[in-house]
Amino acid sequence: MRRKASTTIIFFTVFLDLLGFGIVLPLMPLYASDPRFAASPAQIGWLMAIYSIMQFIFAPLWGRFSDRIGRRPVLIIGLFGSCLSYLVYGLAGSLTMLFVGRAVAGIMGANISVAQAAMADLTSHKERAKAMGMIGAAFGLGFILGPAMGGFLSEYGLAIPPLVAAVITGLNGVAAIFLLAETRDPKHHNGDLPKAIAYHPFAPSRWKMEAQYSSVLAICTLMGLFIAMFSAFEVVLPLWGHDVIGWNMVDIGWVFVYVGVVAVIVQGGIIRRLTPKIGEKKTTTLGLVLVGVGLAILGQWGRELVWVALALIAAGSGFVHPGFSSLVSINSDAAKQGMMMGLFQSMSALGRGVGPVVGGYIYGSHKGGVLLIASVGVGVVLLLFLWVGRKIKDACQTATQAA
């Protein structure tokens, strides 16, 4: 069978990967608090964070590898590595092995940043937001079907959801071998980059190279701050819903289905029509406003307006994620898409490493405080973005300059 390089194949590769991710992630806080593991809120925060800490270290490495050896092999390695991590997680008999499984998943979790770079390989600046919106839609679809499947499968045993996720991800890796073609253009390969940049994520030479793209660094930093606030909300939501409203695993699965439906509507439809008209910067600003307001409503009137608040948060994040990722791509050179998307993913992972830990500790003493603090934090990110956004180009500005 002939392999093809197309945005559709990349979309389905990411979707199936996120389907497995969606089966496991929403249930993780309640799964870890089961008497077999007896994890405290703080330990659950660390369990959620270890994945992202490993991703922070390894995402730039995988991104740079994809610039050198191609997107296809890195995506395939990541898929089979994720399959292994789900097996370890599902067969774990102790909290320590849960941490090992999540650490392996973080090390191998290069798929999203490399998929974003692959999308950038195949699209022009004008089509970039649409392509990143497809990645976002894959996220949304994964979080529609994944949590529903996870909630349903959990009734047959706590280990069943991660084991099913392992099967899905492994089959996705096999399909990628036969269907996924290389997208990187060899003429954009920078063979003269220092080895330290290619192989060492903390090398000063790598940060010196990335510092030449001050706009990209600013966007990545703001994304990290936003994700820290958002992931604090994510880790707390299942615990808060269980303690305050009485949600069980099946209920939480359907809550994430609801959030995923809203995200798909935004990322698969609205953003594709809105962004070309107003640009990525205004789209991202709108998303930050929606998330901040939604978190404030959830923290203050959660019982009464939980579905309204979750809709605002889901819609807002649906604007923010593709908006920021598209801005990173537009403000980067074609030859360094993998490295810059790796930096973007790395800063996002750093935020996901910090947010759950802080959220878990705060939740242990004040259940509603996390949501209000996260709302204020998103407001700070919004103000900083409005300040630095004057120096950042988006597709509308690029098209005007070209004309």
Predicted local confidence at residue 100, as pLDDT: 93
Which amino acid, one-letter code, is at 71?
R
Instruction: List, for residues 178-219, the tens digit of each pLDDT value.
Output: 888 887 766 555 444 444 344 444 555 555 555 556 778 888
Q: Which amino acid is at 284?
A: T
Is the confidence at residue 361, as pLDDT, over 70?
Answer: yes
Q: For tokens 């089966």, name the residue.
A: 23
Q: Residue 199's pLDDT is what?
A: 43
For residues 136 and 263, the answer to whether their CB atoms sit within 8 Å is yes
Domain spanning 7-183+207-395, CATH architecture:
Up-down Bundle (1.20)
What number of other Cβ atoms are within 10 A of residue 208's Cβ?
Answer: 12
Q: What percent of the chain has pLDDT over 70?
A: 84
Average pLDDT of span 356-373: 81
Cα separation of the two ends of the chain = 42
DSSP element (H, E) containing 354:
helix 337-365
Distance CA 344, CA 132 (A): 13
Q: Specify the higher pLDDT residue, 184 or 110.
A: 184
What mean pLDDT is predicted for residues 392-400?
56
Report which of 393, 139, 382, 128 is spatially closest to residue 266, judged by C-alpha positions: 139
Cα angle 119, 223, 146 (rounded to 5 degrees) comes to 60
In the chain, % of residues over pLDDT 90: 18
* Cut 0.85: pTM above it: no
- What pLDDT shows up at residue 198? 44
Higher pLDDT, 361 or 312: 312
pLDDT band at 8 (very low <50, low <70, confident <90, very high): confident
DSSP structure string for 82-133: HHHHHHHHHT--SHHHHHHHHHHHHHH--HHHHHHHHHHHHS-HHHHHHHHH
Q: Is the pLDDT of residue 294 over 90?
A: yes
For the stretch 300-326, pLDDT in tens is 887 788 999 999 999 998 899 888 888
Domain-by-domain residue ranges, the chain?
7-183+207-395
DSSP, collapsed to helix, strand or coil, labels residue 297 as helix
Residue corresponding to tokens 């800063």 = 347
Q: Sorting pLDDT into bands at 50, 70 and 90, what band is 51?
A: confident
Instruction: Give residues with Cβ within 8 angstroms of 20, minimum separation 6.
Output: 82, 86, 142, 146, 165, 166, 168, 169, 172
pLDDT at 226 over 90: yes
The C-alpha atoms of residue 282 and residue 318 are separated, in whole angstroms, by: 13
**What integer pLDDT is reported at residue 394 of this predicted model?**
65
At 180 the three-state DSSP class reads strand
What is the predicted pLDDT for the residue at 271? 78
The pLDDT mean for the chain works out to: 80
- Band of residue 3 on the pLDDT scale cut at 50, 70, 90: low
Residue 71 has pLDDT above 70, yes or no: yes
Confidence at residue 241, expressed as pLDDT on a 0 to 100 scale: 87
Average pLDDT over residues 235-253: 85
Q: Is 360 left (phi over 0), alpha (psi -120 to 50) or beta?
A: alpha
Residue 196: what pLDDT?
39
4 vs 72 pLDDT, higher one: 72
